[in-house]
């Protein structure tokens, strides 16, 4: 399918691994120019080296507004503008209600501030195109997870800001949507599995809770949705929370636990 993305400039945060890296590859396949920001210098350089001249790696820690501003400026300097901003960076640090308020606020800031700052500094460039914005949320903000108050708060705010920005920017024809993963086979998730006593048993148990195909979602499946939402093929879609999760979040719990008896 021709998505109308040829020569569009895409800026992705957290693009060195996982969903971000998968999105980078999908955008490249559509003929885009892609800048990606990550604090992981080794992975970022390796990904950029394995790509081509249409890719620019920006090493930055986006916990400061100044780093966000510079990342936007570097992208514009390299490619001349921004058509698509993908706010992908984020990390579930597992800080629950026992966490002191000061640490809670630091965690929320780490996962949320860069989403606002990157959008704020990209907005003048998105207005010129006009461009579009794709945020990455999480099912945690919809379902809760337990023991992850800070991450849930940040992702809940991202869901809310998606609707807020979609309303605010609709008169300027700038679309804003949010992709909502659930159980996705990312590098972070793999690290979690490997930290457990029986990684394969846990992986199988979680996979069995996903109604569609009894497996974790792949980063590529999330990335394909991101690219579609950024394309002309979704030109009248804005303010939406799109769940790419194999039915994990919204299907009846009985399907997840007793699927076989429904066959």
Catalytic residue list: 151
Secondary structure element (H or E) that encloses residue 37, with its range: strand 33-38
Label residue 241 exposed, middle or buried (CB < 10 Å: 0-12, 13-18, 19+): middle
Question: Token pair for residue 50?
Answer: 């394995």
Q: What secondary structure letter does DSSP report for 5?
A: -
* Beta carbons of 35 and 74 less than 8 angstroms apart: yes
Beta-bridge partners for 243? 180
Q: Provide the edge-to-edge strand list for the sheet that holds 241-244.
A: 55-59, 33-38, 9-13, 84-87, 132-136, 175-181, 241-244
Greatest alpha-carbon pair distance for the chain in Å reads: 58
The DSSP output letter for 184 is B
| Separation of alpha carbons 28 and 17, rounded Å | 15
Task: Answer positive or negative: Cα dihedral of 29, 228, 224, 80.
Answer: positive
Structural contact between residues 4 and 227, judged by C-beta atoms closer than 8 angstroms: no
Residue 25: phi and psi, rounded to 5, are -65, -35
Phi, psi of 56 (to 5 degrees): -130, 125
């Amino acid at each position: 399918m021709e998505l109308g993305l040829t020569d569009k400039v895409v800026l992705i945060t957290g693009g060195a691994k996982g969903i971000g890296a998968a999105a980078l590859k999908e955008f490249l396949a559509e003929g885009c120019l892609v800048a990606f920001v990550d604090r992981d210098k080794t992975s970022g350089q390796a990904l950029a080296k394995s790509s081509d001249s249409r890719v620019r790696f920006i090493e930055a820690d986006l916990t400061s507004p100044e780093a966000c501003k510079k990342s936007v400026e570097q992208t514009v300097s390299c490619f001349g503008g921004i058509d698509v901003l993908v706010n992908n960076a984020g990390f579930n640090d597992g800080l629950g209600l026992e966490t002191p308020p000061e640490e809670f606020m630091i965690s929320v800031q780490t996962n949320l501030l860069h989403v606002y700052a990157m959008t704020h500094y990209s907005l003048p460039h998105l207005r010129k195109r006009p461009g579009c914005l794709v945020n990455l949320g999480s099912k945690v903000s919809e379902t809760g997870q337990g023991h992850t108050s800070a991450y849930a708060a940040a992702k809940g705010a991202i869901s809310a800001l998606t609707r807020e920005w979609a309303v605010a920017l609709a008169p300027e024809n700038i679309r804003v949507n949010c992709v909502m993963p659930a159980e996705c086979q990312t590098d972070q998730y793999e690290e979690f599995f490997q930290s457990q006593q029986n990684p394969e048993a846990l992986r199988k148990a979680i996979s069995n809770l996903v109604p569609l195909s009894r497996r974790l979602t792949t980063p590529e499946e999330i990335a394909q949705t991101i690219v579609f939402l950024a394309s002309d093929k979704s030109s009248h879609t804005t303010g939406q929370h799109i769940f790419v999760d194999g039915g994990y979040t919204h299907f009846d719990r009985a399907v997840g636990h007793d699927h076989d008896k429904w066959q």
